[in-house]
Structure 1
Amino acid sequence: MASSYTAPQILSSTPADIDEIFRLYRLAAAYQAATSRATVVWPDFKRELVAQELVEGRQWKLMVGDTIACVWAITFDDPQIWGARNADPAVYVHRIATNPDFRGQGFVATIVQWAKDYARQHQKKFVRLDTIGENHGLIAHYTACGFTYLGLSALTDTVGLPAHYHNATVSLFELPVEG
């Protein structure tokens, strides 16, 4: 009997994906609001921000068949969050949003492996990410995916960052890229 399994595929997002990206952001924010009072809920992100990331090739999607299962953005520069550590060559991952139909399938680990490979290809030494506040569930999840939890950092210069970073403390995570 033939298997109907479709291996996930990671592709650059395109401008045609922008409505689905925002749908997944809204669903992620609703999930954040429903699951924990301590979690900061994502704001409505500016469409111009995502449109610019699409133009720059910094928005990604994990496809299962014809369906977007996850989206995320990357950057090589994140000084307002990482301060002096921003001088290190790194890929910074932001706004991982999973389609609710695909939660629990380990796709963050798939994204982490992709990010390590991507970092290597671009001569970066680290994959980094952050989350607002001290979300113990995400800390456990990201450390299980191989990240080192670096602790909390109070943000001081948040001009131009999305609203959830204003007056925020962030949990920082780092994963060295070997070889």
Structure 2
Amino acid sequence: MQVQNSQSCDIDTIFEFYDLAIAHQKKVFNKHWQGFSLELVSQEVSENRQYKILVDGVVACVFAVTFNDKLIWGNRDRDSIYIHRIVTHPNFRGYAFVKEIIKWAKGYASKHAIKYIRMDTWADNEKLLHYYTSCGFNYVGLVTLTETEGLPKHYEGISLSLFEIEL
């Protein structure tokens, strides 16, 4: 298993994964992502903030990171790596990629003086809330977004549960 930066040649694969995730979200939950812009994903790739996990050379999971998330985290937005849009290909479910991403993020954080690994999800997604805490995240609160300009469309009018690992 390897975590690598995604390259521009991976963009079609990333969007295929997003489409698979949206279809899955529609089956198992009452909310789903509203899609993402090519500009956003291209920028993440060019800034080395879009990643892939390879299993035997095959892309099995994708995720993105950012280092500021003020609209979601407010005055706590500091010294953090924020993990977003984790998508596992259906053929690789059960590989515990969130735990692998946490290991990777801990290594990244130690090299870059980062104190927190953070994530968010819909406040009413009980299954994910339990899963993230079982992976080592601490639940640190709820936020209702009032300003969403610059965030993907699915953030409009929602409440989020916030999670972090303090390093």
TM range (shorter): over 0.9
Counterpart residue number, 2:40: 49
TM norm structure 2 = 0.97
TM-fit CA distance, 1:132: 2.0
Taking the aligned partners of 2:97 and 2:86, their CA distance within structure 1 comes to 10
Which residue of 156, 159, 166 maps to 2:156?
166
Quote how far apart the aligned CAs of 1:36 are: 2.1
Q: Does 1:129 align with 2:119?
A: yes
Superposed structure 1 runs of 4+ greater than 2 Å apart: none
Q: What does residue 15 of structure 2 align with?
A: 22
Which amino acid counterpart does residue 12 of structure 1 have in structure 2?
A: N
Shift of the alpha carbon at 1:106? 1.0
Which residue is equivalent to 1:102?
92
Matched, 1:76 2:71: no
Q: Which amino acid aligns with 2:51?
A: W
Unaligned runs of 5+ in 2: none
Percent of matched pairs sharing the same residue: 47
2:131 matched to 1:141? Answer: yes
Structure 1 residues 29-82: Cα deviation after superposition (integer angstroms, max 9, x where no partner) = 111110123xx2011100110000000000001001221111001111110110
Q: What is the alpha-carbon root mean square deviation over aligned residues? A: 0.8
- CA–CA distance in structure 1, aligned partners of residues 81 and 110 of structure 2: 10
Structure 1: stretches of 5+ with no match in the other structure: 1-7
Distance 1:56 1:149 in 2: 29
